[in-house]
């Protein structure tokens, strides 16, 4: 009986210790910012708020570096932590609308729904951005195997792809979309009035929404597919 009791108490101790480690977090506060750049394979969620702060969880929470310059916040791991295995998650709260969101180096970035006049998003070096937006103008850049997933509404959508960058935006309802793709870019878009697309070097563009006007150019293996 004593052995069973000891084993049970040991189990409870291990469980509580593991649980306490799971909920450990680090909180950093900063001034207002209008742009975000994230590096180092971090997982981050952007959350509108009345305050500006980052709540950091995970294996490298104490090695996360935040710097704020010209209203742009940069978030990355200290150099010694970049090559170490582990998972780090950040909730970034912001009080001002963000006009530019950039993800590098395998970052996974998500947002709550965004409603504002304009926005620019960039996914580079294997980073993934997923967001819902309701804007007048949306600019998106994806290169070096970056991936962007978009839904919502935009009056004007401008997309630039290169070196195997991709953008899945068939659920982003636009009036006018302009797409330029070089060296293997891949995209889905949705436009009702105009699509203006140039696909060069093996890229593929699929167009949804039956746009009334279509201005297209392909070269060196590029393809444009108009979906019915």
Query: Is the whole model's pTM more than 0.85, yes or no?
Result: yes
pLDDT at position 1: 53
pLDDT tens column, 97-140: 999 999 999 999 999 999 999 999 999 999 999 999 999 999 99
87's tokens:
């998972």
pLDDT at position 19: 45
Separation CA 121–CA 101 (nearest Å): 5
DSSP lists the bridge partners of residue 50 as none
Q: What percent of the chain has pLDDT over 90?
A: 85
pLDDT tens column, 169-201: 999 999 999 999 999 999 999 999 999 999 999
Mean model confidence pLDDT for the chain? 92
225's tokens:
């597919």
Type and span of the H or E element at 37: strand 35-38
Task: Name all domains of the chain by residue range, CATH numbers in brackets.
Answer: 25-110 (2.160.20.120), 113-228 (2.160.20.120)
pLDDT at position 228: 78
- What Rg do the C-alpha atoms of the chain give, in angstroms? 22
**Alpha-carbon distance values, 51 to 34, 38, 66, 73, 133 (Å):** 13, 19, 16, 14, 21
DSSP lists the bridge partners of residue 219 as 200
The more confident residue out of 10 and 209 is: 209
Q: Which long-range contacts (CB under 8 A, 24 or more apart) does 156-165 make?
A: 157/189, 157/191, 159/187, 159/189, 161/185, 161/186, 161/187, 161/203, 165/123, 165/124, 165/141
The answer to whether residue 17 scores a pLDDT higher than 60 is no
* DSSP symbols for 167-225: EEEEEEEEEEEEEEEESS-EEEEEEEEEEEEEEESS-EEEEES--SEEEEEEETT-EEE
Type and span of the H or E element at 14: helix 2-22
pLDDT, mean of residues 10-24: 53
The more confident residue out of 99 and 6 is: 99
pLDDT at position 80: 67
Q: Which long-range contacts (CB under 8 A, 24 or more apart) does 173-178 make?
A: 173/209, 174/138, 174/209, 177/207, 177/211
pLDDT tens column, 61-90: 999 999 999 999 999 999 866 666 789 999
* DSSP symbols for 145-161: T-EEEEEEEEEEEEEEE
């Amino acid at each position: 009986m004593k052995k069973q009791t000891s084993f049970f108490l040991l189990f409870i101790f291990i469980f509580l210790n593991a649980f306490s480690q799971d909920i450990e977090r680090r909180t950093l506060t900063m001034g207002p910012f209008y742009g975000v750049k994230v590096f180092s394979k971090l997982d981050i969620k952007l959350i509108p708020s009345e305050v500006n702060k980052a709540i950091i969880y995970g294996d490298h929470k104490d090695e996360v570096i935040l710097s704020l310059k010209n209203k742009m916040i940069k978030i990355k791991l200290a150099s010694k932590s970049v090559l170490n295995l582990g998972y780090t998650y950040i909730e970034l709260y912001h009080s001002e609308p963000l006009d530019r969101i950039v993800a590098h180096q395998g970052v996974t970035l998500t947002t709550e729904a965004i409603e504002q006049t304009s926005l620019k998003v960039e996914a580079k070096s294997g980073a993934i951005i997923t967001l819902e937006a309701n804007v007048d103008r949306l600019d998106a850049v994806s290169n070096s195997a970056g991936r962007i997933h978009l839904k919502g509404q935009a009056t004007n959508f401008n997309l630039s792809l290169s070196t195997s960058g991709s953008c899945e935006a068939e659920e982003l309802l636009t009036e006018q979309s302009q797409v330029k793709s070089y060296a293997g870019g891949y995209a889905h878009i949705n436009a009702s009035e105009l699509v203006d697309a140039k696909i060069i070097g093996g890229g593929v563009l699929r167009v949804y929404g039956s746009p009334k006007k279509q201005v297209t150019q392909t070269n060196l293996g590029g393809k444009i597919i108009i979906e019915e």
